[in-house]
Amino acid sequence: MSALTVVDTPIRRGFFGAGLALIGSVVYRELSPYQQPTTNLMNLVVQYQITVLFIYASLLLNHDGEAYTGVLAGVDTESVGGIIAIFQLR
């Protein structure tokens, strides 16, 4: 996660984080570091959730120089937070 600080804009930072999370999920899937298959599966699901969360944040953080104009720019913050919380509880 400290590698995200070298990326300049928030939208690029979000997609860079999504790429790192996707690479992490591939590594975890191939290595299967835990003895129990269910633990490996749960770890993989968490990696996918992190990837989707970064992509979602990138859609929110599209900035045109004056204001945020992302896909969900007109939605209030409580709704966005609720959507994120529901997705993470799945």
In this predicted structure, what is the pLDDT of residue 72? Answer: 66
Task: Say if residues 83 and 57 touch (Cβ distance below 8 Å).
Answer: no
Q: Binning pLDDT at 50, 70 and 90, where does residue 41 land?
A: very high
pTM above 0.75, yes or no: no
Extents of the domains making up the chain: 6-89
Give mean pLDDT, residues 12-24: 88
Give mean pLDDT, residues 57-82: 72
CA distance to 21, 38, 48, 68, per residue, from 51 (Å): 5, 20, 5, 21
Per-residue pLDDT of 50-69, as tens digits, reads 888 888 877 776 666 676 67
